[in-house]
Amino acid sequence: MLSPSPRALTPNHSIVQSRRRIISLLRFAPAVTFLLPFGFQPTIRAQQPVSVVLDAMTSELHRAFTTLGKSAGPSSSSASPSNVGVATTAAPASDKQLPPYFLSYMVRDASYVSIRALYGALAGNSAGRTRSADVQVRVGDPKLDNTHGTHRGSAVNSLQLPLGDDREALARSLWLATNTGYGNALDSYLRVQTEAEVRAREEDTSPDFSQQPQQKHIGAVAPPIVIDRTSWEQRVRELSRIFRDYPDVYENMVVLSVQNETDYFASSEGSQVVTPHLQARLVAVAVTRADDGMDLFREQTFEAETVDGLPKQADLEAAMRNLGKSLEALRKAPVTEPFDGPAILSGRAAAVFFHEVLGHRLEGQRQRGEEEGQTFTKDVGKPILPDFLSVVDDPTVTAFGSTWLSGSYQYDDEGQKAEPVDLIQDGVLKTFLMSRLPIASFGASNGHGRAESGHVPTGRQGNLIVTSTKSVSDSALRQQLIDEAKKQGKPYGLYFEDISSGFAVTQRSSPQAFQVIPLVVWRVYVDGRPDELVRGVGIVGTPLAAMKSIIATGDKSEVFNGECGAESGTIPVSAVAPAMLLSTIETQRQPQGTARPPILPIPGADTQPPATKEAQ
């Protein structure tokens, strides 16, 4: 979900809101485009009675776990295309089969509402409900199982579940997914054993699965969505209509998405976890094109636990006008040249920067496997940042100041309790973000196993929070930028005000590099000239050099809420950081584009009053 299609560049790493993604959403987005599982855990009320869903899960899980591998009965081969109408992989027919040593069910039951407007008119208003199950089957033993190496994805089999509380229908659906998953697991385990006979000794010989204590937490189920859809239709239309006042904004979209989800987890270890996840999100996107063919866009996202927490309409309208005016200014801004010199990243920009440049390289699975670059694997106990910076990932924090954090959760997608993890203290690397995949020197989960439905959980970021003991005011930081530019003989430094997205490459087969896509960039001249807005800027570099170039930070932190795509799917994340001054940052030009602006004027453009009057 990233720019430019990060999964084509690497199977992991990206925060959402890319140029191509945004523009394609404007043109082709279905009504529920932005509705994805979001990981917020509100305060849990009193313990709830066991639901039909959890009861069916635990009963079928126990039956499967105590039966599979004992004999080749009808259950191991009866789930065939001829009798269930779907393609499945049946367990091999033999008198003795290998029993699973671990089995888990994760069920996500989500209700959603989506309201979308284009050009001031309603384009979609939908509501619905989905219920899916991820069945994880592991055979062999924790030291070596069917998920080893490149076979990690074989652990999970997914399907849609019935929406009602028909216990038998739920049990039969779980049976089908379990049978298919077991067959896949046996097949993968055979391949793993064969490969183990012919490959060289691996550098990291850690087990494939960590032993963890069982977890018991039966929280409240997510409540029904309560929203005045008629009122919100009007609000979304009015927000989208504002862009009519800006003739150079060719495309726009405003989307309200609300999702209330209950996650059920049960495992053969005896864990039972039920947690609700709620999110309301309003996204505004606007697109224009400069005379030289460069596509430009701005977007803004507002998030809260419920719609009642979203900003007031007047504040949202002001934000829409700011987006429109910003795009008109960007169209006329000069295209930047490649640059290598000092720069300030705003707090929001620094948050994305740390997520991409550092955060992904501190995820546990990045330290294991011959394909991974392992940037910081050997650096535990060593300084990797300036000594005035510390980094923690704390999914148990639900807000930073008055801003809600979308990367919050109470239990991860492996049923493990979320933990705050002190990754870097005073510049020194302490540990990594761990799922239940062990790595050398770190054999246990710290509650960061996360995944989108249909994927195996891996160590992922939640709320990445950067703090500093060397902070100065905004004006002092700006003066330091000018002084550093003079020192280097540069006519200006750069200020990155807003940022859209980024991606990072962590695999050995590609250069260990990153790219971050800014939206609003200013030249700050050393001779006192007014700051100059520029466009077409992309930040590039390598992580080790970038981290060492931070020389000071601002005294106020900002939040970036977004989504991150990686090998375990797309998940909600947050990053918090103060503004940062870097002694050296490298930029390159973004693709120019070849299409000219629209030949036919936008309807009504010749009769509209100037946008500046309307915005006053």
Cis peptide bond N-terminal to 4, omega within 30: yes
Q: Which of 171-180, 195-204, 334-343, 548-557 has the lowest mean pLDDT?
A: 195-204
Task: With respect to residue 612, please indicate whether it lies within any of the assigned structural domains.
Answer: no
- For 431, residues 6+ apart whose C-beta sits below 8 A from its C-beta are 380, 421, 422, 423, 442, 446
Indicate if the pLDDT at residue 493 is higher than 50: yes
Q: Which of 63-72, 174-183, 303-312 has the lowest mean pLDDT?
A: 63-72
Higher pLDDT, 77 or 505: 505
Residue 41, pLDDT score: 33
Task: With respect to residue 596, please indicate whether it lies within any of the assigned structural domains.
Answer: no
Residues 301 and 168 placed together within one structural domain of the fold = yes
Total count of domains within the chain = 2
Residue 608, pLDDT score: 59
Residue 96, pLDDT score: 57
Indicate if the pLDDT at residue 83 is higher than 80: no
Categorize the per-residue pLDDT at 82 as very low, low, confident or very high, splitting at 50, 70 and 90.
Answer: very low
Categorize the per-residue pLDDT at 480 as very low, low, confident or very high, splitting at 50, 70 and 90.
Answer: very high
Residue 42, pLDDT score: 32
CATH of the domain at 47: 3.30.2290.10
| Cα angle 72, 78, 79; round to 5 | 120
Over residues 109-116, mean pLDDT: 98
Higher pLDDT, 144 or 371: 144
Q: Which residues of 121-146 are buried (b: 16+ CB within 10 A; e: fewer)?
A: eebbbeeeebbbbbbbbbbbeeebbb
| Among candidate residues 332, 353, 377, the one where a domain is terminated | 332
| Among candidate residues 332, 349, 373, the one where a domain is terminated | 332
Categorize the per-residue pLDDT at 190 as very low, low, confident or very high, splitting at 50, 70 and 90.
Answer: very high
292 pairs with which residues across the strands? Answer: none
Burial class (CB in 10 A: 0-12, 13-18, 19+), 551: middle
> What span, in angstroms and rounded, lies between the C-alpha atoms of 188 and 438?
20
Residues 210 and 321 placed together within one structural domain of the fold = yes
Residues 304 and 416 placed together within one structural domain of the fold = no
Task: With respect to residue 607, please indicate whether it lies within any of the assigned structural domains.
Answer: no
Task: With respect to residue 36, please indicate whether it lies within any of the assigned structural domains.
Answer: yes
Task: With respect to residue 604, please indicate whether it lies within any of the assigned structural domains.
Answer: no
Indicate if the pLDDT at residue 5 is higher than 60: no
Residues 442 and 302 placed together within one structural domain of the fold = no
Higher pLDDT, 577 or 90: 577
Indicate if the pLDDT at residue 8 is higher than 70: no
Over residues 530-553, mean pLDDT: 91
Over residues 513-542, mean pLDDT: 91
Q: What is the pLDDT of residues 217-269, one digit of tens each?
A: 999 999 999 999 999 999 999 999 999 999 999 999 999 999 999 999 999 99
Q: Which of 217-221, 290-294, 448-452 has the lowest mean pLDDT?
A: 290-294
Q: Are 478 and 524 a contacting pair, CB within 8 Å?
A: yes
Neighbours of 226 (CB within 10 A): 11
Higher pLDDT, 470 or 33: 470
Over residues 134-161, mean pLDDT: 94
Six-digit token string for 110 = 């989500």
Indicate if the pLDDT at residue 512 is higher than 80: no
Task: With respect to residue 378, please indicate whether it lies within any of the assigned structural domains.
Answer: yes
| Among candidate residues 278, 312, 332, the one where a domain is terminated | 332
Mean pLDDT of all residues belonging to the chain? 85
SS (H, E, C) 428-446: EECCCECCCCCECCECCCC
Residue 502, pLDDT score: 67
> What span, in angstroms and rounded, lies between the C-alpha atoms of 301 and 519?
14
Over residues 346-367, mean pLDDT: 92
Residues 351 and 318 placed together within one structural domain of the fold = no
Indicate if the pLDDT at residue 92 is higher than 50: no
Residue 375, pLDDT score: 81
> What span, in angstroms and rounded, lies between the C-alpha atoms of 497 and 349?
7
Six-digit token string for 175 = 């049976």
Residue 374, pLDDT score: 79
The runs of H, that is alpha helices, within 451-532 are 474-488
Residue 50, pLDDT score: 63
Burial class (CB in 10 A: 0-12, 13-18, 19+), 544: middle
> What span, in angstroms and rounded, lies between the C-alpha atoms of 294 and 290?
5
Domain of residue 455, residue span:
339-589
Residue 507, pLDDT score: 59
Residue 32, pLDDT score: 29
| Cα angle 583, 585, 588; round to 5 | 160
Chain-centre distance of CA 297, in angstroms?
21
> What span, in angstroms and rounded, lies between the C-alpha atoms of 333 and 190?
60
> What span, in angstroms and rounded, lies between the C-alpha atoms of 183 and 92?
7
Categorize the per-residue pLDDT at 199 as very low, low, confident or very high, splitting at 50, 70 and 90.
Answer: confident
Residue 157, pLDDT score: 94
- For 212, residues 6+ apart whose C-beta sits below 8 A from its C-beta are 269, 414, 416, 436, 444, 445
Task: With respect to residue 143, please indicate whether it lies within any of the assigned structural domains.
Answer: yes
Question: Which amino acid would we find at residue 609?
Answer: P
Residue 142, pLDDT score: 97
Categorize the per-residue pLDDT at 20 as very low, low, confident or very high, splitting at 50, 70 and 90.
Answer: very low
Neighbours of 475 (CB within 10 A): 8
Residues 466 and 322 placed together within one structural domain of the fold = no
Over residues 519-548, mean pLDDT: 92
Indicate if the pLDDT at residue 408 is higher than 50: yes
Over residues 297-302, mean pLDDT: 92
Q: Are 159 and 177 a contacting pair, CB within 8 Å?
A: yes
Residue 198, pLDDT score: 82
Six-digit token string for 496 = 């990155």
Residues 363 and 433 placed together within one structural domain of the fold = yes
> What span, in angstroms and rounded, lies between the C-alpha atoms of 483 and 465?
28
Over residues 180-185, mean pLDDT: 95
Neighbours of 196 (CB within 10 A): 12
Residues 304 and 343 placed together within one structural domain of the fold = no
Indicate if the pLDDT at residue 505 is higher than 70: no
Over residues 266-290, mean pLDDT: 96
Over residues 89-116, mean pLDDT: 81
SS (H, E, C) 107-137: EEEEEEEEEEEECCEEEEEEEEEEEEEEEEE
**Could you tell me what percent of the chain has a pLDDT over 90?**
69
Indicate if the pLDDT at residue 201 is higher than 50: yes
SS (H, E, C) 32-97: CCCCCCCCCCCCCCCCCCCCHHHHHHHHHHHHHHHHCCCCCCHHHCCCCHHHHCCCCCCCCCCCCC
Q: Which of 144-153, 434-443, 534-543, 576-585 has the lowest mean pLDDT?
A: 534-543
Residues 411 and 319 placed together within one structural domain of the fold = no
Residue 47, pLDDT score: 40
Residues 164 and 239 placed together within one structural domain of the fold = yes
> What span, in angstroms and rounded, lies between the C-alpha atoms of 31 and 258?
12
Return the SS3 of 186.
helix
| Counts for the chain of helices (H) and strands (E), in that order | 11, 24
Task: With respect to residue 595, please indicate whether it lies within any of the assigned structural domains.
Answer: no
Residue 203, pLDDT score: 83
Higher pLDDT, 608 or 85: 608
Over residues 475-491, mean pLDDT: 98
Categorize the per-residue pLDDT at 45 as very low, low, confident or very high, splitting at 50, 70 and 90.
Answer: very low
Residues 205 and 105 placed together within one structural domain of the fold = yes
Return the SS3 of 588.
strand
Chain-centre distance of CA 51, in angstroms?
30
Residues 303 and 381 placed together within one structural domain of the fold = no
Q: Left if phi > 0, otherwise alpha if psi is -120 to 50, otherwise beta: which for 312?
A: beta
